[in-house]
Structures are given as C-alpha cells and as structure tokens.
Amino acid sequence: MKKVLIIGAGGVGSVVVHKCAQVPEVYGEIMLASRTKSRCDAIAAQVKELTGREIKTAAVDADNVPELVQLIKSFGPDLVLNVALPYQDLHIMDACLETGVDYLDTANYEPLDEAKFEYKWQWAYQERFKEKGLTALLGSGFDPGVTNVFSAYAMKHHFDEIHQLDIIDCNAGDHGQPFATNFNPEINIREVTAKGRYWERGEWVETDPLSWSMNFDFPDGIGKKKCFLMYHEELESLVQNLKGIKRARFWMTFSDNYLNHLKVLENIGMTRIDEVDFQGQKVVPIQFLKALLPDPASLGPLTKGKTCIGCLIKGVKDGRERTYYVYNICDHEEAYAEVRSQAISYTTGVPAMIGGMMMLTGQWKKPGVWNMEQFDPDPFMAALNKHGLPWVETFLD
C-alpha cells in the first residue's frame, strides 16, 4: 500500500483523487495539495461522500521548491502526481529529485511568457533522475498519454513498421454555454491559437493556426465532424520512438461557434500573453479572460454527449499494408455520475491514476525520464478497460 501526493486541485486533479480513492489496494494514502486549500477540502469532502475514504489536504505553492520539499518530506509519498499547470513541472521535478520521490505529470513544461511547449526542458532531467534511481513519467493523460500507449500497442501487436499516424480528438459534447473551454482556459487557448505543425519525411512542417481541416466520420453515432490540424506535444516523442514513421499529425474538432468566439477574442487582443498597463496595473489579457470564463469544473453537470479520441494508423505487417483505428468513447454524463466531472477531465484523470498505478506496482519503473510509449503498453491497456476508459480496435482494410 503506497502513498501518493497529488498536486493541483483543478478539474483533472479532482478526477485523479476520485479514481485513486477507488483503488485502495494500490493507493493506500492520498494527499491533495494545491495553492488554494479550500478547493482541496471540497474535493476531499466529495470523495468521502462517494467512496468513504479520507483524503489529506494541504496548501502549497508548487512554484516554491523549498515549500514543496517541506511538504513532500512531511507526508513521505512514494509518488508525486502533478496535475497543476505546465508552468510548475520543472519546480516539482526539482523537489522530487531533492526528496528522492518518483514523478508523474500529464502535460509538458511550458514557460509562462512564451506559448511554446517542448520536451527539451524535461528530457534534460534524464541523467539526474537516472543517477538518483528515480522514475519520471511524462504526459500520462489522454493526449498525450493514452494516444502514446495506443501507438505503442499498435507497434507491439499489429505492425512491423508504422508509416502514418493521425491522432484524432473529438469532443462531441455540448455544455450549452456561449463560450467555455473544457480544461484550463489559458492552457487551452494558448494551444489552439498556436501554429500547427506535423511531421513528414524526417522534418516538421508548420501551418498557420487552424488553417488545415478534414472531415472524419466518428463511430458510435457521433458521425462526421470537421477536424483541424494542430501541433500537440505527443508528436515530439512519438516521431522518435515509432519505428518507420513517415508522417504524424494531430487533429481536433471545434464547433463553428467556438471558433467564431475565439477569432473575436484574438482580434481584440484578449488572448495576448504579454502584460499590458491598465489603470496603473499590469494585466495579462489571457489571464483576465480566464477569470471571466466559466470554470471548467462548473461544466460537469451541464455537459451532454460524448468524446472520441483515437489513433488512425497505417503501416506494414508481414509485408502487407494495413490500416488500424483504435479509440475510446467517453460519455460526459456517465463521467459526471461517477466522479462529478465532465469527460475531458475524466479522460485525463483516469490515465494519470493508471500511470501512477503502473509505477507504484513496479510494472513501469525504470530510472530516468520517460514518455508513455517507452513502457510495455499491455498492462496499461488492460487497466483502461477496467477503470472506465474501454477501447475499441478495428482494421479498416
């Protein structure tokens, strides 16, 4: 029975705590810490009501390494599970190194003053984690996360070489709000307004933001939706780790309504990430916008419909070309009924819990800093079926 310290009491953090509480044989003791302790206490009360389990809570500023170190030392966890924001990743990794504790996150480091995410900052910790005999697992959400595991599973069982990978993320849910984002608005808008990028024949090709689209016919009654090419962080590690890869792209669906609102916000400067002077104060427009938009956690009871996230893969097995599609369908209302969160937080929080379980049970343990596809996908795929994110695979030809 192990101890986990979960950092970040947001939409994803809430699901992680609920799901860890459902697996007491692995997660013996759970502490949730965030900047605002009252948010941790509210989640702990909800988990107590649904599972009967006690969750410890604490206040911590995860950008303050000495404060983090003190908290880690006093609780003594076997794993720190980081579901705060990408800006905190390096500070939390530093604290894990100092205290000798394994690390897991769901999003790669991003500097606050530049909308740019890359693994280089976290991969630079490889030797330090190795020397200390510690494991850091990067990107254990859905995308990144399950999409990396889906790709590794395809590589292991169905292909000798993977030539084309299209990760396709569809949220066919509706929350009835004029404009809202399903996870942290600042992170979401920074990602969506950035330039697109995909991998082709050994190099990255850049596209203007949301300038490329395709229609994809989603399963399970969702039907045809327009998807837009975006850059997404798992592409960076997958093009290094998938044998034979020639092209890798990431697509996401957006409604016309979402895109129209975003265009207006962009045109009037509300998505800017630099400081502007306002009545003698410094204001970052995108942070101010976050304060005005609905809290993603408040969308839980309002959202209806499903998500479908999967990998469409073309490659070769035994000299024969084949096309393979593996995906998960998650229902917003079912997710809410189980853990009081909508499916976006659910599809991120469940894989974070499973990633932690892989580490704590020793199935995924290897000193160093690793992406998800670098471990055996089989136990993770089995756990997805068991813990609320069942997957379906089909061969299209």
Binding site for ligand NDP (CB under 6 A): 7-13, 34-36, 39, 60-63, 83-86, 88, 106-107, 139, 141-145, 183-184, 187, 296, 348
**CB nearer ligand NDP, residue 79 or residue 159:** 79
Residues 6+ apart with CB under 8 A from 5: 31, 33, 71, 72, 75, 77, 79, 80, 81, 101
- Which residue in 110, 79, 153 sits closest to 353, CA to CA? 79
**CB nearer ligand NDP, residue 183 or residue 251:** 183
**CB nearer ligand NDP, residue 85 or residue 293:** 85
**CB nearer ligand NDP, residue 153 or residue 183:** 183
> Smallest gap, in angstroms, from Cβ of residue 253 to ligand NDP?
15
> Smallest gap, in angstroms, from Cβ of residue 48 to ligand NDP?
19
> Smallest gap, in angstroms, from Cβ of residue 55 to ligand NDP?
15
> At 287, is the secondary structure helix, strand, or coil?
helix
> Smallest gap, in angstroms, from Cβ of residue 83 to ligand NDP?
5
Please state, in angstroms and as integers, the Cα–Cα distance from residue 164 to each residue in 97, 136, 239, 328, following that order. 37, 28, 10, 20
**DSSP output for 12-55:** HHHHHHHHHHT-TTTEEEEEEEES-HHHHHHHHHHHHHHH----
> Smallest gap, in angstroms, from Cβ of residue 80 to ligand NDP?
12
**CB nearer ligand NDP, residue 85 or residue 316:** 85
Residue with smallest beta-carbon separation from ligand NDP = 10
Please name the residue ranges forming H helices in the chain.
11-21, 37-51, 65-75, 89-99, 120-123, 126-132, 146-157, 185-192, 234-241, 256-267, 285-292, 332-339, 343-360, 377-386
> Smallest gap, in angstroms, from Cβ of residue 156 to ligand NDP?
22
**CB nearer ligand NDP, residue 135 or residue 307:** 307
> At 237, is the secondary structure helix, strand, or coil?
helix
Task: Return d(Cα 96, Cα 298) in angstroms, integer.
Answer: 32
**CB nearer ligand NDP, residue 159 or residue 342:** 342
- Which residue in 64, 67, 267, 306 sits closest to 182, CA to CA? 306
> Smallest gap, in angstroms, from Cβ of residue 50 to ligand NDP?
19
Task: Return d(Cα 179, Cα 270) in angstroms, integer.
Answer: 14
> Smallest gap, in angstroms, from Cβ of residue 282 to ligand NDP?
19
CB 308 within 8 A of CB 334: no
**CB nearer ligand NDP, residue 184 or residue 271:** 184
Residues 6+ apart with CB under 8 A from 265: 189, 271, 289
